Structures are given as structure tokens and as C-alpha cells.
Amino acid sequence: MADVAERAGVSPSTVSRTLRGLPTVSPDVRARVEEAARELNFAVSRQAASLVTGKTGVVAALVPTLNSWFMGSALSSLGPLLRAAGMELTVYVIPDMSERTAFFERLPARRNADALAVFGFDLTDEETVRLDDLGMPVIYVSQHADGRPSVYVDDADGARKATRHLLNLGHRRIAFAPTLGATGFCFSSRERLLGYQQALTEAGIPLDDDLVVTMSSDDKRDITQGVGKLLSLREPPTAIFAETDELAISIIYFLRKAQIQVPERISVIGFDDHQMAEWTDLSTVAQSPSDMGRLAGELALQLIQDSDADHTRHVVLPTHLIPRATTAPPPAPQGGHEGAVEERRI
Amino acid sequence: MADVAERAGVSPSTVSRTLRGLPTVSPDVRARVEEAARELNFAVSRQAASLVTGKTGVVAALVPTLNSWFMGSALSSLGPLLRAAGMELTVYVIPDMSERTAFFERLPARRNADALAVFGFDLTDEETVRLDDLGMPVIYVSQHADGRPSVYVDDADGARKATRHLLNLGHRRIAFAPTLGATGFCFSSRERLLGYQQALTEAGIPLDDDLVVTMSSDDKRDITQGVGKLLSLREPPTAIFAETDELAISIIYFLRKAQIQVPERISVIGFDDHQMAEWTDLSTVAQSPSDMGRLAGELALQLIQDSDADHTRHVVLPTHLIPRATTAPPPAPQGGHEGAVEERRI
DNA sequence: CTGAAAGCGCTAACAA
DNA sequence: TTGTTAGCGCTTTCAG
């Protein structure tokens, strides 16, 4: 910066003012400084600046993985939004329990970010408390956190929609397949289970624990076994509501592999409206992770600016049912002969 | 840090030494300092440290989007690797041309990272030169950059494998569908096209430009039109090689929707071995983006440490063909009656 | 509108 | 093994 100052024939202070766009710089000086900066390929060091301002210019995101449709979409919208505000995005990927423990013990984000967005973890109370004294706003995304800023979809409502859709088609034996990430992380399982149960109760159908089978969506064997468990019940389900589209698609794969027609014999519905849902004609409940990323980013920027903004704001996003070709009325009670024309599907 | 020093009854330097794990600290002092640090919830400010060391402790990744299987997998493996080395990952998401221009003009990573990993962009020469004087090692991932460190798969070879597989099945009219990101970014299209052409030439089949139809994999209309173009040729292809699995899956969707059986009438093969490829029984060429992420990270760390390491190293990863159920021999020349048993697919 | 000077929190010499 | 000192590159008073 001193070089730029010298080249432009002004003091470092003036260079600083110019480069930050402060209005208290005369036009000709501004022009000289900007040219000098360009010629020298000068870029301000965030490190040095933040040392004195106390702001790092960084928003941190805590994610269990980047390798999922949800996270990818959310961060793809968060990133450019932050850049537009002159901020950078640093990502902490926490793929397993030991990394998670390490993260919460050391809290490496402390002093190295102005805000933290926590994506989709089902945090323990201790972990939440730990984040409370991190010294920066923490935004909870895709999860509730009482009394703390959160952005999420109404998962329970979405699950009700999915379940009601199946009920409306005439299904009475409806299974729910929550998914457990390989690492003990848990997205919105609880809420979706709740919505599923509410819809059943609403319809006067007793809950049956045998119809709730957790499957890890990364693990083929686990899915086969889970599907097997459902098929071997004395009264198997005629419909399966999978917690995510990815799980739904793999369940369909195993059902069809076992010669069980979908949706003629068993209907399957997912949750997400993953890009693949369209290509596989999957009925699902849509949510918008990119909206969540955007809103989380806006909330973060706002909380960074007004330290006394409303820190308890919850933003709840809508979901909507997208019926496609994997849900249909259940097969006739005993006859077992199925729908006439069989469409081709991927 | 001064607080910690006072509480532990030592000087700031000693605290610094302790916290950085230098060996020149006596055990009892170390213990006192660590306890004090824990009690005060102290974490070193990277900003201040980097001001004096000149190292930021950050690796930057430049990506066109995070919302793709490839990027998600690559960064999911890069992130934890960097954390294990005590580094942070900051991500620049450059979704469109204007952001791209802005990035290369301002180079915001300058002085704010120790290395930059550029993922999957097809950079212009000017852009590459611009990165050369960024003042930090730049690792090119999923692309060649002559004389600069690169990590990529042998796309041409993978494409040859895919094309040969189709040739071996008896196909002679084979189309190639490169995909153009919505934003003018271009992954490995060129190389894959090349491999496709080589395999054809090798087999003595003349190239036909009509069989190469670009389709934007985000855009439904574009894909329908592209498929339509191929189907309306005087001599339509009996097989399509799609540049990516995602494109392959959507092409299959449109073909089946148009009552064109896959693979009986037209074979389709993709490239990636996307997680969904298995669930859709898609034949494909596998590559491992997580390996690429990992190797890129290792290379970055190495270049950061030894500034005089080999800056021209190229790491080339293998691909392998995974034949599944979307490729089969072409239909009999004129009769048009297809294979006997029809397997069920998602 | 501009410059001088102080200091942000840390590390790296050097001295003890 | 530990403490002292001098900056790293910037922003921010405060004078002018």
C-alpha cells in the first residue's frame, strides 16, 4: 500500500480511503490512486485490514458434506451473494463424528469469521451452547434453534403433504423411510417423521412402528435390507415415503429389481425435488435449498451489520407436493392384478 | 493472547510457542498455558498471525458451481484434507460470465490465500497468465495447463473406452452429446470429443458432424431439441455417448418418453459414474472426483511448503468403463424387432 | 480533503 | 527454556 501511495504521490491513508470507496477523496486524487493500484496489481490484504477493523470479511459455513444436492444448491447460491457483498465464504466440511468433536472443541472459526451458518446438523444442546459463545452471529439453516436465527422449510408440513397424497390415493399401509447419514448426522428426519405421523393420525390410521425403517442412503446393503424388512411384514405397505429423493430413487431401484412394480404394486414418494426427480418421474415434495442458502446469507449479512438486529428471527420456507409417476392408487385388495398400460420409465 | 499470558504467568511469546506446538517449551509451562487458553476460550487469530508470517493458512478453490456431483465430491474430500493440515478452505463460486470477468480482474484471492485450486474451468490463455502472477501456487484440477501443476483424468482415454464399447457392441452410427454449462463454462468437452473421434477413426468410421450435438444439461428444451435433431437425421444414431451422466439420464428420459426403447433401439452411455448411475442402470465411464480433490489438496500443500518443488507436475488419473443396462447391440438392420426379455429399470 | 502517528494481535529475532 | 523488542499492513483517530 505504501508503494501505491508513493506512486500516486499521496499518503497511505488516502490510498486506504480511496480503495475503500470513502467519499472524502477528491476525484483527481481518486483517479491517480486507482491507476497506481491497478498498475501495481495491488489488492488490500484482508488480514491486515481485519486486524484493525475487527471484521474478517468472511462468512463460515459448517456442512456435513458438500456432496449432496441440498448442500451444493444451498452453497451455490450463498457464495455469489456473499461475494456481491464483498465477503468471502469459507467452508468447514465435517464428514464424521471425530471431525465434529474436534470442530466443537477447538472452534477454529472463532475470530476467523464474522458469522457462521450451520447447515443441516442436528446439534446437541451442548454444541448449540458452545456456538453461542463463539462471539459471532450463528445462523441455523435447515433446522430450528430456539431463540436463535434460523432458516428452514416446514418439514413436518411437507411430510404431511406427502402422506396425505398417499392417503388420498387410497393407501392405508404407508411406510416411512428416514435416512441416516453415514456419520450420525441427521437432517430433518424428526420433523418429517412427525408430519407423517400427524397425517396418519388425522386420517384415523393407527401408527405402526414396523412401518418406519431407517436406511442409510449411502449403503446399498442397508437399503436392500430395509426394503426386505418392509416386504416381509405380515401386512406389507402399499406405499413408501422416503425421507429424501435420493433414498426414494434407490428404493425404487431395489423394488423394481425384485420385480415389484412401482407404482402399480407399491407407490414411492420422496422429498426434495432433486434434479433427478424429474428424470426418474419421481413424485416428491419440493423444497428450495437455493432459497435457503440465499436467505441464510442475507440474514448473516444483516446480523453482521446490525449487531442489535433481531437475533431470534425464524424464516420458514414453503414446500409443495409434486405428484409424478411413482405414486398411484394401491392395488385392488385381493385380486392382485395391476394397472393396464405400463408406461416406460428410466 | 496477552490475557492468556498473564493468566498463565508467562510472556506472550511463550504462549505463542506453546499454541503453535513448538518443542521449546517446558512441559509444566505448556500445561499452564494450555489450561489458561482453554479457560479463556482463546483461539489464535489467523489474521494477526498471517500478517507476520506472510502465510494465510487458507487454500482457495475456484469453482463454477457447487451444485454438481463432481464439484461436491471433489470439495468434500479436499476440505477435510486441508483441515487435517490446519488449513482452511475458502471457495469462490463463479456461476456466470460477469462474475468470472470480475474475478479475473480483481483477483480477490491475491494475498488472501496460500494457494489456489482452479476446478474444471476451460480458461483462456489470458486468464491463465493472469493467475500466473497471482503470487501463489495455482493448481489446475480437471484440466491441463501446460507447464503448471495439474490434476485430471485422461478424458480422451475415457471417451475412447466409451466409444469403443459401443463399437464393440456393433454400433456404427454413434452420436456424441457435449454439454455446455449454462454459463459458457466447459469442463472436459474438448478432450472427450477428441477421444470419441479417435475411437471412430481407429475403427475406420468417418466422422460426421451431424452426430455431435451440444445440449445444455440444465435446459429441458435444449435437450429435447438436441434429441430431436439426432432423431430427425436421415440416418439416425443407434447409440449416444453423453458427456456426463446427468445429461445421459435426461436424454434417456426424453427418449423413453418418445417411446424409443433404451437400449433396444438406442444405446446411451454417460461419463462420471455419478451416484445416480447405479440407480438408473446407466452404462458409464467412471472417474473419481474425490481422488482428484484429494490429490489436488496434497499437491497444493506440497507447493506451499516447498516453494521450489516441481511446479510442472501433472497427475493423471485413470478412468474405467462400467457397462450397465443402457448399452446393448444395435437393433437388427431392417427388421426392427428387438431383444427378447425386457428387463425392468427405474 | 489530506497527512502523521498510533496500534490492532501476533511472530521472529535476539538476548538473557 | 523464556522474555524483550520490533515490526507485519492496514485503518483510524486527530491535526491541519
Per-residue pLDDT for A257 more than 60? Answer: yes
Q: What is the pLDDT of residue B208?
A: 97
Q: What is the pLDDT of residue B181?
A: 60
Protein residue closest via CA to C1' of D9: A48
Smallest CA–CA distance, residue A306 to chain B, in Å, is: 23
Which bases of strand D sit closer than 7 A to a protein CB? 1-5, 7-13
pLDDT tens readout for residues B243-269:
999 999 999 999 999 999 999 999 999
Question: If you average pLDDT over residues A240-268, what whole number do you get?
Answer: 96
Among chain B residues, the shortest Cα distance to A103 is held by: B83
- Determine if the peptide bond prior to A289 is cis (ω within 30°): no
Which nucleotide is closest, CA of B52 to its C1'? Answer: D8
Q: What is the pLDDT of residue A247?
A: 94
> A58-62, A323-327, B103-107: which has the minimum mean pLDDT?
B103-107
Place of cell 482428484: B292
* ∠ CA B103-B134-A27, rounded to 5°: 60
Q: For residue A51, say whether its CB is under 7 Å from any atom of strand D.
A: yes
d(CA A189, CA A205): 21
d(CA B103, CA B88): 20
Nearest beta carbon to residue B249 from set A93, A252, A279? A279
Q: For residue A49, say whether its CB is under 7 Å from any atom of strand D.
A: yes
Q: Which of B279, B290, B294, B343 to mutate to test the interface with A (most CBs of A within 10 A)?
A: B279
Going by pLDDT thresholds of 50, 70 and 90, the confidence category of residue B101 is: very high
Protein residue closest via CA to C1' of D6: B52
> A43-57, A86-100, A329-343, B1-15: which has the minimum mean pLDDT?
A329-343
Question: If you average pLDDT over residues B326-340, what whole number do you get?
Answer: 70
Stated in angstroms, how far is A251 CA from C1 C1'? 70
Among chain A residues, the shortest Cα distance to B73 is held by: A67
* B227 in contact with chain A, both atoms CB, cutoff 8 A: no
Per-residue pLDDT for A305 more than 60? Answer: yes
A263 and A200 in contact (C-beta within 8 Å)? no
* A320 in contact with chain B, both atoms CB, cutoff 8 A: no
* B242 in contact with chain A, both atoms CB, cutoff 8 A: no
> Are B66 and A65 within 8 A, CB to CB?
no
Going by pLDDT thresholds of 50, 70 and 90, the confidence category of residue B182 is: very low
d(CA A342, CA A267): 14
Q: What is the pLDDT of residue A309?
A: 73
Average pLDDT, chain A: 90
A296 and A142 in contact (C-beta within 8 Å)? no
pLDDT tens readout for residues A279-297:
999 999 999 999 999 999 9
Percent of chain A with pLDDT strictly greater than 70: 94
Chain A residues with beta carbon closer than 8 angstroms to that of B346: 249, 252-253, 256, 280, 345-346
Protein residue closest via CA to C1' of D11: A52
Question: If you average pLDDT over residues B149-157, what whole number do you get?
Answer: 94
Q: What is the pLDDT of residue B346?
A: 42
Chain A residues with beta carbon closer than 8 angstroms to that of B133: 41
* B246 in contact with chain A, both atoms CB, cutoff 8 A: yes
Domains by residue range for chain A, with CATH: 2-44 (1.10.260.40), 55-153+290-318 (3.40.50.2300), 155-287+322-331 (3.40.50.2300)
Compute CA distances A109 → A118, A308, B6, whole Å: 12, 21, 24
Question: If you average pLDDT over residues B68-91, what whole number do you get?
Answer: 94
Q: What is the pLDDT of residue A181?
A: 60
> A233-242, A325-334, B174-183: which has the minimum mean pLDDT?
B174-183
Q: What is the pLDDT of residue A335?
A: 45
> Are B43 and A108 within 8 A, CB to CB?
yes
d(CA B266, CA B233): 14
Going by pLDDT thresholds of 50, 70 and 90, the confidence category of residue A180 is: confident
* A55 in contact with chain B, both atoms CB, cutoff 8 A: no
C-alpha cell at B292: 482428484
Per-residue pLDDT for B31 more than 70? Answer: yes
Place of cell 509444566: B28
Give residues 43-62 of chain B lying near strand C (Cβ < 7 A).
44-45, 48-49, 51-53
- Determine if the peptide bond prior to B263 is cis (ω within 30°): yes
Smallest CA–CA distance, residue B160 to chain A, in Å, is: 26
Question: If you average pLDDT over residues A215-238, what whole number do you get?
Answer: 93
Going by pLDDT thresholds of 50, 70 and 90, the confidence category of residue B344 is: very low
* B73 in contact with chain A, both atoms CB, cutoff 8 A: yes
Give residues 28-47 of chain A lying near strand D (Cβ < 7 A).
44-45
Percent of chain B with pLDDT strictly greater than 70: 94
Going by pLDDT thresholds of 50, 70 and 90, the confidence category of residue B118 is: very high
Per-residue pLDDT for B229 more than 90? Answer: yes
Going by pLDDT thresholds of 50, 70 and 90, the confidence category of residue B71 is: very high
Q: For residue A20, say whether its CB is under 7 Å from any atom of strand D.
A: yes
Question: If you average pLDDT over residues B97-102, what whole number do you get?
Answer: 91
> Which range in A299-308, B14-23, B143-152, B200-209 is most confidently predicted, on average pLDDT?
B200-209
Per-residue pLDDT for A265 more than 80? Answer: yes
pLDDT tens readout for residues A112-138:
999 999 998 888 889 999 999 898 999
Q: What is the pLDDT of residue B169?
A: 98
Q: What is the pLDDT of residue B343?
A: 39
Nearest beta carbon to residue B66 from set A45, A75, A92? A75
Q: What is the pLDDT of residue B187?
A: 59
Average pLDDT, chain B: 90
Q: What is the pLDDT of residue A174?
A: 98
Q: For residue B25, say whether its CB is under 7 Å from any atom of strand D.
A: yes
Comparing B187 with A183, the larger pLDDT belongs to B187
Chain B residues with beta carbon closer than 8 angstroms to that of A50: 47
Percent of chain A with pLDDT strictly greater than 90: 71
* B89 in contact with chain A, both atoms CB, cutoff 8 A: yes
Q: What is the pLDDT of residue A186?
A: 62
Nearest beta carbon to residue B91 from set A48, A51, A79? A79
Going by pLDDT thresholds of 50, 70 and 90, the confidence category of residue A341 is: very low
Per-residue pLDDT for B108 more than 50? Answer: yes
Q: What is the pLDDT of residue B345?
A: 39
Of A196, A62, A52, the C-alpha closest to A120 is A62
> Are B280 and A280 within 8 A, CB to CB?
yes
pLDDT tens readout for residues B286-312:
999 999 999 999 999 999 988 777 777
Going by pLDDT thresholds of 50, 70 and 90, the confidence category of residue B143 is: confident
Backbone φ and ψ for A142, nearest 5 degrees, come out as 65, 30
Q: pTM surpassing 0.85?
A: yes
Nearest beta carbon to residue B47 from set A51, A83, A108? A51
B99 and A80 in contact (C-beta within 8 Å)? yes
Going by pLDDT thresholds of 50, 70 and 90, the confidence category of residue A41 is: confident
Using only C-alpha atoms, chain A has a radius of gyration, in whole angstroms, of: 26
A296 and A151 in contact (C-beta within 8 Å)? yes
For residue B101, the cross-strand partners are: none
d(CA B342, CA A91): 47
A175 and A212 in contact (C-beta within 8 Å)? yes
